[in-house]
Amino acid sequence: FLFQYHIYSYNSIGAEGARALAEALNSNSTVTSLNLEGNSINYSAVIISSGQNNTIIDNILRGSTYGIIVSSSNSTVINTILSNEIYNNSYGIYVNGSFYVNISSNTIQNNTYGIYLNSSGSIVFDNNISFGIDGIDVLGMNNTIKANTVNGSSIIAVNVSSSNNTVINNIITNDNYGIYLSYVKGVNVSDNKIDNITADGVRLVNVNDSFISNNSMVSISGDAVEIISSNNLTVVGLSNY
C-alpha cells in the first residue's frame, strides 16, 4: 500500500479493519482521530516505513504488539507522532533505523516498553509515560529527551545506550532506576527531577566525557549518582533530599 497526501480520520477500527493502515504509510499522510484496537495482522496499529512528512495525531491505539512503528525513514523531513493515547501494547512507540522523528505530547500507559528510540536527530518531548518495564530506551545518537513525565517503570525510566544524547527537564517518579547510561560518551543529563526511586537516581556505567548537572533527587533508596568505570565526567549542582 502506498498512501500519499491522504488524511485518515474519525473511524473506530478493530483488528481486521486496521489492515490498510497497518501495511505502511509512505509519505505526506496524516492519521488522525482513529480508534484502533487489537490489530493482529502486522502486529502494529500504524506503520511508517521508508516515509517522510507523516503525522499521526489524536488517535487511540491499544492492544497490539506495537502501537506505532517508524522504520527505515532516512529523510531530513520530520515524521510527527503527536497527542495520541497509546496503551496496553508490548511497545508503545517503536522507532528503528530512522532519522528526525518528533514524538510529542502522547499519553503512553501500560505498555511493556513505552518508547523505543533507535533513531538520530529525534526529539521526545512532553510525553506522559507510565507503568511499563522501561519508559524510554534510547539507542541512537543526537536525540533530545525533554520535559517528559515517566512514572512507575519496573526497571528503568530513561535508558540511554548511545552517545551524544541530551536528557533534560524530565520528571521521573516511582521507578526502579531513574536515568541509566551505559557505554556512552558526550551525554548531557541536566535539570531533571527524580523522585521516589528504588535503586539509583542516575547510574553511569562505562560513561565518558559527559555532563550531569542540576538534577534534583528526592527519596532515592540507592545512590543519587552511582559512577562505575567512567572517566572525564562533570557532576555539578546535585540536590539530594
* CA-to-CA separations, 97 to 23, 54, 113, 152, 205, in angstroms, rounded: 18, 16, 18, 28, 25
121 class by beta-carbon count within 10 Å (0-12 exposed, 13-18 middle, 19+ buried): middle
Separation of alpha carbons 70 and 29, rounded Å: 13
Q: Measured at the alpha carbon of residue 180, what is the angle toward residues 179 and 185, in degrees to the nearest 5?
A: 110
CB 233 within 8 A of CB 210: yes
Separation of alpha carbons 117 and 81, rounded Å: 13
**Identity of residue 79:** N
Per-residue pLDDT at 24 exceeds 60: no
Q: What are residue 164's phi and psi, to 5 degrees?
A: 60, 45
What is the pLDDT of the chain when averaged over all its residues?
A: 85
First to last CA, the chain: 55
What does pTM read for this prediction? 0.89
CB 171 within 8 A of CB 148: yes
Q: Which residue has the higher pLDDT, 39 or 168?
A: 168
Three-class DSSP category at 20: helix
Separation of alpha carbons 27 and 9, rounded Å: 17
Per-residue pLDDT at 12 exceeds 90: no
Amino acid 58: pLDDT: 87
**Tens digits of residue pLDDT in 96-128:** 988 899 999 999 999 999 999 999 999 999 999
Q: Which residue has the higher pLDDT, 41 or 222?
A: 222
pLDDT (average), residues 176-203: 98
Per-residue pLDDT at 180 exceeds 70: yes
pLDDT (average), residues 158-179: 98
Amino acid 36: pLDDT: 64
Separation of alpha carbons 108 and 102, rounded Å: 15
Amino acid 64: pLDDT: 84
Pick from 68-82, 173-187, 196-210: least confident:
68-82
pLDDT band for 172, please (50, 70, 90 cuts): very high
Separation of alpha carbons 138 and 230, rounded Å: 19
Per-residue pLDDT at 15 exceeds 50: no
Per-residue pLDDT at 76 exceeds 80: no
Amino acid 73: pLDDT: 62
Separation of alpha carbons 194 and 96, rounded Å: 28
In this structure, the strands spanning 188-190 and 113-120 are unpaired
pLDDT band for 65, please (50, 70, 90 cuts): confident
